[in-house]
Every structure is written in C-alpha cells, then in structure tokens.
Amino acid sequence: MAYSIVILILTLQCMSAVTGLSLGNMYPYPHDGITGPDDQLMSRTLDGSSPVISFTFPFYDNVYNTIYVNNNGHLSFTGSYSVYIPLEFPISIPLVSLFWMDADTRTTGQVWYKLTNDSALLNRAKTDIVTLYDNQITFQPTKLFTATWLDVPYWQAVGSDATKRNTFQVVLVTDGVISFAMFHYQKIEWAGYADNATKAIVGFNAGDGVNSYTVNSSDYTDVINLEQKSNTGVPGKFIFRVDGYTIQPAGSTGKYTKYTG
Ligand SMILES: [Ca+2]
C-alpha cells in the first residue's frame, strides 16, 4: 500500500510538472550576480571555453586531471572543445554533454563554474547519491564541480525565438575513485536551431569511438521537454554514475528506480 502511494505521488508530481527544477533545487550559483569565493564567470563568447581547470575526475574507466567548460553546453577533459553543431555519439573525444547546442553568450546569458570542497555542498551531493544508489551508502565525496548556464540564448535566434532562454546545470562529484554527474534543467525554451533540424545532444561520450550514453532520443520534443524528464523522481533532475566502463543512470526516464547494481 505504501509503495503504491509513493508511486501515485511520484506520478502526480510528474504529471503536474510544467517547469523544471526550482532555484532551490539547483546547486548554488550566482543567479543574482552575488558571487561566492569559488564562483567563476566565463568570458562572453560564441564558441569559447573556460581556462583549463585542475580537477581529478574518473570518467569511463579513465582518470582525467583537467577539465574545460565549453560555451556550447558541454565539458571536455583533454582540451577545450568548440564544436557547436552537436554530433551523434560516439565521437572521438571524452565529453560530458548536458546540452550540446549552439549557445551564444556574447551579449546576454552567463556561464558560471566552480570547483569546491565546501562541506555543505559535498554532504548535499552525498545525500543525493545515497538516496538513489543502494550500493553507495559509504560514498564520501571530496570534490565537487559545477557549471551553470544561466538564461543563455542560441546563436542567431530571430523573431519569437530571440527571447528564448535556457538555464541548466551540471554537477560532477567524486571521491577520486567513484564519480557521478548530475544534470539539472530549470528552464529549456530552445533545443536547436529555428528549423529544429538540429537539436541538442545530451549524454556522455567515452572518447574511444565505441562507448557512449545518450539521454534524449532522436525526437526533438524529448530535448525541449528535458526539464520535465527525470531519472530521479524529481522532474528536471538526472543522476548518473560515470566512472566505469558503462554509464549507470539512477533510473529510467520518468520513473524513480533505485539503482542496486
Ligand atoms: Ca555557440
């Protein structure tokens, strides 16, 4: 009975969701322009990237010691990556792609990032993961990296599309051996170029030309509605374990499934 009630509540939450994560459900970022000690603002750019950031992160059976935030909605490890037209996976470079499409922050929108060992944030991440992964009860993260695209438009948006904005966030968290990625979608108003012929790619790419994981399917509506989708039971929130040979999602899209593998 209790189980049925939980399912009912989760179903109702999904059905009633017309927007993504609230501000409070996102990990902290300078939405109001007030920065904390670790907050970094990326320079305004069309297809540029952050400077190299030293961060040890296990990903797809490798351990990388550097990371780059790229304006077009992805993180790379082996160098900055400026490709603005999303490519279907697998491709030849390791990539964390939470919304690969042609963002343009030259005049408006911001991309914030931070690397932190703030204990409150680490504990929050631990709770997120322990709640969803039965086999991670003892997981104790030591480093956390976030990147947040705040009210970003897309390149050459015209007409009614010119005012469309997306706000989304990636959280990487690790103890140096085990690692997780969280994708947070607060607001997705655009998902591709105006003709919808090209749409955002969301997922993970190992870079070996073989292994990859794509969250959205080929349907454009899957991408434009990302803030209503989930693998955690919370609309707009996805969690994946990403250190191993295969990506381990917290659950299936739209359903809450505790991972026990
Ligand atoms: Ca761009």
Q: How far is the CA of 47 from the centre of ligand 1 (A)?
A: 4
Q: How far is the CA of 53 from the centre of ligand 1 (A)?
A: 20
Q: How far is the CA of 231 from the centre of ligand 1 (A)?
A: 28
Q: How far is the CA of 80 from the centre of ligand 1 (A)?
A: 13
245 and 61 Cβ atoms separated by less than 8 Å? yes
d(CA 72, CA 232): 25
Q: How far is the CA of 238 from the centre of ligand 1 (A)?
A: 24
The 3-class secondary structure across the chain, one letter per residue, is CHHHHHHHHHHHHHHHCCCCCCHHHCCCCCCCCCCCCCCEECCCCCCCECCCEEEEEEECCEEEEEEEEECCCEEECCCCCCCCCCCCCCCCCCEEEEEECCECCCCCCEEEEEEECCHHHHHHHHHHHHHHEHHHCCCCCCEEEEEEEEEECECCCCHHHHHCCEEEEEEEEECCCCEEEEEEEEEECCCECCCCCCECEEEEECCCCCCEEECCCCCHHHHHCHHHCCCCCCCCEEEEECCCCCCEECCCCCCCCCECC
Report pLDDT for 14: 42
Q: How far is the CA of 156 from the centre of ligand 1 (A)?
A: 10
Report pLDDT for 195: 59
Q: How far is the CA of 84 from the centre of ligand 1 (A)?
A: 5
Q: How far is the CA of 42 from the centre of ligand 1 (A)?
A: 13
55 and 63 Cβ atoms separated by less than 8 Å? no
Report pLDDT for 110: 97
Q: How far is the CA of 148 from the centre of ligand 1 (A)?
A: 15
Q: How far is the CA of 36 from the centre of ligand 1 (A)?
A: 27
- CA 61 vs CA 64, 106, 211: distances in Å: 10, 36, 11
Q: How far is the CA of 211 from the centre of ligand 1 (A)?
A: 26
Q: How far is the CA of 195 from the centre of ligand 1 (A)?
A: 17
Q: How far is the CA of 6 from the centre of ligand 1 (A)?
A: 42
Could you tell me the sign of the dihedral formed by the alpha carbons of 23, 24, 25, 31, in that order? positive
* Per-residue tens of pLDDT for the chain, all 261 residues: 455 554 444 444 444 445 789 988 999 999 998 999 899 999 999 999 999 999 999 999 999 999 999 999 999 999 999 999 999 999 999 999 999 999 999 999 999 999 999 999 999 999 999 999 988 989 999 999 999 999 999 999 989 899 999 999 999 999 999 999 999 999 999 998 755 667 899 999 999 989 999 998 667 778 899 999 999 989 999 999 999 999 999 974 444 445 544
Q: How far is the CA of 120 from the centre of ligand 1 (A)?
A: 33
